[in-house]
Structure 1
Amino acid sequence: MRKLKLVMVGNGMAGVRTLEELQKIAPDLYDITVFGAEPHPNYNRILLSPVLAGEMTIQDIILNDLQWYADNDINLHLGARVGEIDRRNRSVIATSASGETITVDYDRLLLATGSTPFVLPIPGNDLPGVISYRDIKDTDEMIDAAARYKHAVVIGAGLLGLEAANGLALRGMDVTVVHLSDWIMERQLDRTAGKMLQAALEAKGMKFKLNAHTAELVKGESGRVCAIRFKDGSSLPADLVCMAAGIRPNVALAEQAGIHCNRGIVVNDTLQTYDPRVYAVGECANHRGTAYGLVAPLFEQAKVCANHLAEMGIGRYQGSVTSTKLKVTGIDVFSAGDFSGAEGTEDIVLHDPGLGIYKRIVLKDDKLVGAVLYGDTKDGAWYFQLLKDEQNIHDIRDHLVFGNAHLGDVGHKGNSVAATMPDSAEVCGCNGVCKGTIVKAIKEHGLFSLEDVRKHTKASSSCGSCTGLVEQILASTVGGAYQPADSNNKAVCGCTDLSHGDVRKAIRDHKLLSVADTQQYLRWKTPNGCATCRPALNYYCISTWPHEAIDDPQSRFINERAHANIQKDGTYSVVPRMWGGLTTPTELRAIADAAEKYKVPTVKVTGGQRIDLLGVQKEDLPAMWADFARAGMASGHAYGKSLRTVKTCVGAEHCRFGTQRSMDLGVKLEKMLFGMWSPHKVKLAVSGCPRNCAESGIKDIGVIGVDSGYELYIGGNGGIKTEVAQFFCKVADDEEVMEYGGAFIQLYREEGFYLERTCHYLERVGMEHIKQHVLENAERRKELHEKLLFALQNYKDPWAERFEDASGGALRREFEIIKV
């Protein structure tokens, strides 16, 4: 059966989101070709501001890398500009980045051409140094200019202009924002909120020139812009001028093809244009007289458009009721509805300049019709729901401005915003997730954390503005079982005010090679630290600077460094290492001899397929370790913040169902990782087939053999709260398992906080972050794997030389002085 041909012009967020939705419901219906004018794959345009500010890189904001297009059999042309649509012959003619002509036929055409920045029609608008702020190229030009020039002027005080000004200021430029209105962000804020925001930004060093009419941009001696001149005759120096004065739907290509346009490409409720074979989504589309510029409506359009491209024909886009919840250079603002105060409306206002809080609620006929919040926006979703549902607020009017939580005084005691929202209320506008969907997922899947909800519903996984509300829903649904995410800024312990991230960065940036050096450089409050911080500092040193840092065995408890664990009766447990769970008669004999020699009362097989000798007396430990060392058996790191075990099934070596040699791979992995210290314990398992007898699905790294290779899973554990590992990738052979798995472990070693399990690390940084480093960047993956191997090469147990004394006397003397 011949596949239909789908061509998409534009490679931005709305268009690619449509393809993602299409791939979910009809992955085999189309041969897909995408033309993108930029040389980059799909990226998050919303995050250009953090890139400009130096907080993120271009790679950090890529949403779909080149591998994604390849994996989905999408023919991608980057740097290609479509110049003509031949509707009669149903073809698209483009020019490639190298200048070649490309002609592609289509059965369906999707226009996702986005918008173009509005450039003021004034003299000098084409001078070098005059740029818009719309894409990666613009961002790169501003970063380059900030390194070479001093004075910047941003024309336009909307969100984009303010973010551009903030980024340039953070890069050291003297920035002035020029705006036509008499307050900033007048489309999102009223005058009072706008003035409060301006004052806050001025306190950060930003300058403003309002009610300013730009007359021309002045050319300097170098040919570059040097100043901006206004109609009143005044001027400002300007080495860089950024125009952020608005956007316009990009309709040039559609107009050339004779497709009806009117302030956008006109579409109906199925996102079809007047030509039913041609669809349009995103900022280029005009639906019922509105062209949307916010991401949430664009994603709603994408879902409906994909439904019709998939020939299901059951979706309708009927427009979006929008609200604006933003964080402008770290300051929270919210607005919704008609907050201008039209005839017949009433205002309820709470204004506390000292606390930086402003709330204005606009009412008409006992219904909320608009709201503006500054500084405290936590009730924004509740106000927005009241507005959308046109609820009568007569009974709660006296308490309305104080927020939903305050309604306890009028018979709603203890209710949060989330608790009183109806199930139909939309929580995540970006992904169209309502409260009922979240609550259902929490109850059906036993979810307890924000990351759990993100995995199952996508709520809070895009812009993040609904995160607080999602957390409220979690808390109100599961009560005390709710697990809020740990703050990255939490101090390591009472000995310092610095977080784990701060400490690790200092050790890396200043090459601190010992616990003492680190405490001295970071001005530790206590002279020797404590049992919480010393092991953490020691781990960060030895993992950051392998073979150079001074290891401090006393920084780790005896049960971790000497491989024994104290039991409740005061005796100890020793677990000799058995590679991959395999053993030999000689090793078994050594274990039996030790058990008899030291009168061990209990011998048990552990959950990790090892033999545990329980009930060992403290004074016998050194000699027992020495005996095992002479037999060639390390005594396991069984209780360390390190590699524990690699559990295996019998695999293809023996099992009639086995597809891969799991025992052989388990031994390879355990030997590769032997001697590895990590933020927390690390357990692996290798199952030779999908029957998963080794329980790979609840390990930090789980490997499951399939006919064509292996599936890798990460971030599982079998603790108090069992965490099922998440699917990571599929690989072809043992070598790739070791490379991909090793790269993930090294990334965890470099970025994980001490005592943070892989599941919590994964929750904190996100699966996409790990995939970017390990799956999507082959060079980075190999670098991580090689760094791990380097750290572990020529590993020698720090206690090994003590074992050379047959009686264990040397080890016994050191052991006695270490506090257990």
Structure 2
Amino acid sequence: MLRELRRLSPEARLTMVTLEDGHFYSKPALSTALAKGKTAETLVTSPAEKMIAQLKLDARIGREAEAIDRAGKALCTTGGPIPYDALILATGAVPIRPPIAGDAAHRAICVNQLGHYERFRRELPEGGTVLIMGAGLVGTEFANDLATSGFTPVVVDMLAMPLGRLVPATVGQKVRDRLAMAGVTWHLGRKVVAIDYRQPGPGYSATLDDGTQIAADLVLSAVGLAPDIALAREAGLDTGAGIKVDDCGRTSDPHIFALGDCAQYQHGLSAYVMPIMSAARAIAATALGTPTSIRFPPLSVQVKTTLLPINLLPPPSSVEGVWTLLEDDAEGSCHVYVDAAGRERGYVLTENKCGQRTQMDLRVGEFA
């Protein structure tokens, strides 16, 4: 976002407020960093000092945004109020914390930012067993990363298959079986009800809803994220699942914008890199005085499971339909999601079929 603003306006005063350390890094890389030998330090692609100098930023690092004074057009922070002509909220998402009993339930780590990953690496013993709660995109990618890095992942999920909300059951079965061959243990159709300190320690003992006990050195929570809308809601902005924005990224206050995981666009939430980049370009232009509509490309996703490569375009959550198999051979498989009107609204490609991503984006993206 800051790069887009600076590209369009070399002279605009840009103020960045962040509670983190201000370094630039790729958040999707967190779930594949182990196999690549990355530490929290080496994941940083642009240190804060370098980015501040390059983009000529007024950086307020380590400051928390406490409230928005909409009438006075100021952001109230722990370092004092900061006036604005345009305010862009990129508050991201916060981990969902399901109700779990036990004296160690609070020790489950959700890796959603660089500091979380630093703690994860610090507490991860060599060759240890990691209990992963959740077999969605993040949980499955972490299971793949851990299994290919010499660790023992144990995955628990309430659904019958990994990636259960994103792929057809047959693909979920292939993911389950391929990762199991690499050492992943699955407890599907189950949930964690308690996490206690292991006696004798160190480590943890998790109890599932069927009474199964799992011993682990570390517990990773990947049950999902919810848009962080607290600041916007307290300021009286329109919110739903996220901070509601129009086709230019403006909230119900025309001087305030929302971007990324916290934003609820016209089509819903879009918590992936490509839609954030597309939205940033339009919001930058609009915030600087040239109203520009956001043009989203097909929002396809590369699932970073090296043991079974997958590319997919998730169908809209509101659309009823069925998965249809188009191809299944030694090169992989291709599935499309067909709605009640016979339109293709999503797709899943596996293994070498992932090379068809561009063609499938063009084929399905028109209606997705």
Structures share fold, TM-score greater than 0.5: yes
Query: 1:323: how far off?
Result: 2.2
Please name the residue that 1:262 is paired with: 240
SS at match of 2:268: coil
1:371 aligned to 2:347?
yes
Please name the residue that 2:14 is paired with: 32
Q: Cα–Cα, structure 1 residues 199 and 264, in superposed 2: closer, same or farther, change >3 Å? A: same
Aligned-partner residue type, residue 284 of structure 2: A
Q: Deviations over 1:671-694 (max 9, x none)?
A: xxxxxxxxxxxxxxxxxxxxxxxx
Contact 1:157–1:185 at 8 Å: present in 2 too? yes
1:350 aligned to 2:327?
yes
1:92 aligned to 2:75?
yes
The structure that is strand-richer by fraction is 2
2:87 to 109, 119, 123: 109
Q: Cα–Cα, structure 1 residues 225 and 195, in superposed 2: closer, same or farther, change >3 Å? A: same
Please name the residue that 2:29 is paired with: 47
Contact 1:130–1:225 at 8 Å: present in 2 too? no
Structure 1 segment 129-528 matched on structure 2, within 5 A: 129-147=107-125, 150-221=128-199, 226-288=204-266, 290-313=268-291, 315-317=292-294, 321-336=298-313, 338=315, 347-352=324-329, 355=330, 357-362=332-337, 367-375=343-351, 376-389=353-366
Query: 1:343: how far off?
Result: 7.6
Q: Cα–Cα, structure 1 residues 254 and 223, in superposed 2: closer, same or farther, change >3 Å? A: farther
Q: Cα–Cα, structure 1 residues 255 and 124, in superposed 2: closer, same or farther, change >3 Å? A: farther
Distance in 2, matches of 1:114 and 1:218, equals: 30
Q: Cα–Cα, structure 1 residues 59 and 146, in superposed 2: closer, same or farther, change >3 Å? A: closer
Contact 1:115–1:248 at 8 Å: present in 2 too? yes
Contact 2:205–2:213 at 8 Å: present in 1 too? yes
Query: 1:262: how far off?
Result: 1.0
Distance in 1, matches of 2:361 and 2:7, equals: 31
Query: 1:211: how far off?
Result: 0.3
Please name the residue that 2:50 is paired with: 67
Distance in 2, matches of 1:308 and 1:369, equals: 30
Where does the alignment leave 5 or more consecutive residues of structure 1 unmatched? Answer: 1-17, 96-100, 391-820
Distance in 2, matches of 1:309 and 1:104, equals: 17
Query: 1:363: how far off?
Result: 5.1
Q: Deviations over 1:768-808 (max 9, x none)?
A: xxxxxxxxxxxxxxxxxxxxxxxxxxxxxxxxxxxxxxxxx
Query: 1:319: how far off?
Result: 5.3
Query: 1:221: how far off?
Result: 4.7
The structure that is helix-richer by fraction is 1
Query: 1:371: how far off?
Result: 2.5
Aligned-partner residue type, residue 121 of structure 2: I
Q: Cα–Cα, structure 1 residues 362 and 189, in superposed 2: closer, same or farther, change >3 Å? A: closer
Please name the residue that 1:793 is paired with: none
Structure 1 segment 669-818 matched on structure 2, within 5 A: none
Q: Deviations over 1:100-130 (max 9, x none)?
A: x333222221100111121212224864641
RMSD: 2.7
Q: Cα–Cα, structure 1 residues 90 and 225, in superposed 2: closer, same or farther, change >3 Å? A: farther
Query: 1:160: how far off?
Result: 1.1
1:80 to 52, 63, 70: 63
Greater relative contact order (CA < 8 Å, ≥ 6 in sequence): 2
Distance in 2, matches of 1:194 and 1:226, equals: 28
Q: Cα–Cα, structure 1 residues 239 and 60, in superposed 2: closer, same or farther, change >3 Å? A: closer
Contact 1:359–1:371 at 8 Å: present in 2 too? yes
Contact 1:215–1:231 at 8 Å: present in 2 too? yes
Q: Deviations over 1:498-542 (max 9, x none)?
A: xxxxxxxxxxxxxxxxxxxxxxxxxxxxxxxxxxxxxxxxxxxxx
Contact 1:119–1:125 at 8 Å: present in 2 too? no
SS at match of 1:378: helix
Query: 1:249: how far off?
Result: 0.4
SS at match of 1:293: coil
Contact 2:157–2:188 at 8 Å: present in 1 too? yes
Distance in 1, matches of 2:55 and 2:98, equals: 41
Distance in 2, matches of 1:148 and 1:222, equals: 19
Query: 1:80: how far off?
Result: 2.0
Please name the residue that 1:8 is paired with: none
SS at match of 2:313: strand
Please name the residue that 1:23 is paired with: 6
Distance in 1, matches of 2:149 and 2:282, equals: 42
Contact 2:168–2:323 at 8 Å: present in 1 too? no
How many residue pairs were aligned? 363
Contact 1:41–1:78 at 8 Å: present in 2 too? no
Query: 1:344: how far off?
Result: 7.9
Q: Deviations over 1:161-182 (max 9, x none)?
A: 1222233345543220111100
Q: TM-score, normalised by structure 1?
A: 0.42
Distance in 2, matches of 1:132 and 1:41, equals: 19
SS at match of 2:121: helix
Q: Cα–Cα, structure 1 residues 34 and 369, in superposed 2: closer, same or farther, change >3 Å? A: closer
Task: Tell me the percent identity.
Answer: 25
Aligned-partner residue type, residue 114 of structure 2: I
Contact 1:175–1:207 at 8 Å: present in 2 too? yes
Where does the alignment leave 5 or more consecutive residues of structure 2 unmatched? Answer: none
Distance in 2, matches of 1:296 and 1:362, equals: 21
Give 1 or 2 for the bigger CA radius of gyration: 1
